[in-house]
Structure 1
Amino acid sequence: MNLEHRQRRHRTRVDWGLRGAEAIASDADIAVIVDVLSFTTTVSVALDRGIGVVPHAGADTEEVARRHDASVAFRRSQSAPGRITLSPGSIRSARDVPARLVLPSPNGSTIAEAMAATPVLAAASLRTATAIAHWIARTAGPDDSVAIIAAGERWPDGSLRPAIEDFWGAGAVVAALAAVGRLLDPSPEADAAQAAWTAVADDPSTALRDCSSGRELIALGFDGDVAVAAEVGESAGVPILRQGIFVDARSGGLSA
């Protein structure tokens, strides 16, 4: 990998997908994954309901669930009344919820599992960007670097489809870090993400409904999931990965 692609001259970095995560987070103190529609939004809703989330790429799901004493979320295409899926609405409406949930997804969850060895790994959405920035400002070292990864989606051939909602989400994290005085030496990529978020911050609901991924979910009947994703700043939870499970960081410090 070209060393210049790692953004190591900067302490606040932004890039795309698993390869971007490998590039900018390999030496970062804190990595933040953003998958607005819907993995990291669903993680935030789960934590709000007291559910720990196990990220997993999808293979050997039952074995991962046994190891963590967790239930397994169904695919969104298998939605039915009472079933918990990748849909944040399914968790919000569920009458009975598990203590732990394996939540497979091909993007945010896959990246989170791959980046599990990062010293601190957070899952950010528009619902949690502000809370995560405040937590970083309170607990991170003065020189700690932050790598923010816009998860993106996939084209039918499996290649990365840069999804604008994740760039907005990454920009929301950058903007929140700036607001709390913790935006250190941002890369041009981080500046661009913040500018993209600023352009839609006055009406994120419309932006999410109009973008390609939002229109896809609406066409599939998941209007409610797009609405949940647009709940800017509505969660005080700080999802971080500890021993393979996303939990609320407010229960402790930076160490896993």
Structure 2
Amino acid sequence: MNLADGQGGYRVRFDWGPVGADVVAPGAAFVAVVDVLSFTTTLTVAVEQGLSVLPYRWRDDSAVDVARRHGAMLAVLRNQTGPGQITLSPASIMNADLRDNGIDRLVLPSPNGSAISVRLADLGVTVVGVSLRNAAAAAEWVRERAGDRPVGVVASGERWPDGSLRPAVEDLWGAGAFLDGLAGGADVKDFSPEAGAALWAYRGVSPTLTDALSASVSGRELRALGFGGDVAVASAVGVSEVVPVLTDGWFVDGGS
């Protein structure tokens, strides 16, 4: 069997990272990208604030040029933040009055969720940004539009120091939260076993999710760096109704 065809018999599919995105994308009407700590959480918060967000593969000199060309603010690295700047930290956007200062566009680089979103857009699928904050709203939006067409879900994961994929449990839970909403209490026989595993991982952790997210490797790392607020923002399950949809290169609220 060709591994790339392994979930092709199922309407709802789940996989990890950039290569997993390539696997679940063929034929999919929508692909949900999940990067809880922190790209899709930051994306959700930005769209909540009325911003349009351009995902960019990584923060380098080309990102500066892209932001300037589009008249957009460029998010900087967390350790580079200063007065008036925002970063991949969702709390930095929540605490900024960007629209009041005439800023309505944001270039948001990320090596995981952002890069995967761009990769999927290049494949011609409709990309939806999903965090724990908006998983229920995004699932309802997709369910209403997908019908019987295939849906893919990609947990972005993180990177080990050698550059290889590190499956990150928070992205498994975020994917599961979306899948839980997509199931809508119905039979999940058209979910692949991989999608079912993510769904049940979320259902198992949901009563203690806030504590579990804080105790996860990624959560502990951010807290140790002084970004515990980002973990709190990310763990606010179901508080957002926005649905970031990648449209003509920019994430905008598909529900508006």
TM-score, normalising length: structure 1? 0.93
State the Cα deviation string for residues 130-183 of structure 1 (Å, max 9, x = none).
Answer: 00111112222x221110000000011111000000001111111111126595
Residue 121 of structure 1: CA displacement? 0.5
Q: Distance in 1 between matches of 2:251 and 2:4?
A: 31
- The counterpart of 2:138, out of the listed 132, 138, 152, is 132
Does residue 41 of structure 1 match 2:46? no
Q: Distance in 2 between matches of 1:62 and 1:223?
A: 28
Q: Distance in 1 between matches of 2:66 and 2:108?
A: 10
Q: Distance in 1 between matches of 2:143 and 2:195?
A: 17
Q: Distance in 2 between matches of 1:164 and 1:5?
A: 25
Q: Distance in 1 between matches of 2:53 and 2:185?
A: 28
> Aligned ranges for residues 22-171 of structure 1 at < 5 Å?
22-58=22-58, 59=60, 60-97=62-99, 98-117=103-122, 118-140=124-146, 142-171=147-176
Q: Distance in 2 between matches of 1:243 and 1:67?
A: 16
Q: Distance in 2 between matches of 1:201 and 1:127?
A: 13
Report if aligned partners of 1:88, 1:228 keep a CA contact under 8 Å in 2. Answer: yes
- 2:182 maps to 177
Does residue 235 of structure 1 match 2:240? yes
Change (3 A) 1:182 1:45: farther
- 206-215 vs 96-105, greater mean Cα deviation: 96-105
Percent of aligned positions that are identical = 51
Residue 184 of structure 1: CA displacement? 6.6
* 1:111 alignment partner, SS class: helix
- 1:254 maps to none
Which residue type is aligned with residue 232 of structure 1?
V
- The counterpart of 1:247, out of the listed 248, 252, 256, is 252
Change (3 A) 1:62 1:79: closer
Tell me, which stretches of 5 or more residues in structure 1 are unaligned? 252-256
Tell me, which stretches of 5 or more residues in structure 2 are unaligned? none
Does residue 224 of structure 1 match 2:224? no
Which residue type is aligned with residue 12 of structure 1?
V
State the Cα deviation string for residues 162-214 of structure 1 (Å, max 9, x = none).
Answer: 00000011111111111265957000000000111011111211011000000
- 64-73 vs 6-15, greater mean Cα deviation: 64-73
Change (3 A) 1:184 1:127: farther
TM-score, normalising length: structure 2? 0.93
Q: Distance in 1 between matches of 2:232 and 2:187?
A: 29
Q: Distance in 1 between matches of 2:17 and 2:34?
A: 10
- 21-30 vs 33-42, greater mean Cα deviation: 21-30
Q: Distance in 2 between matches of 1:39 and 1:184?
A: 31
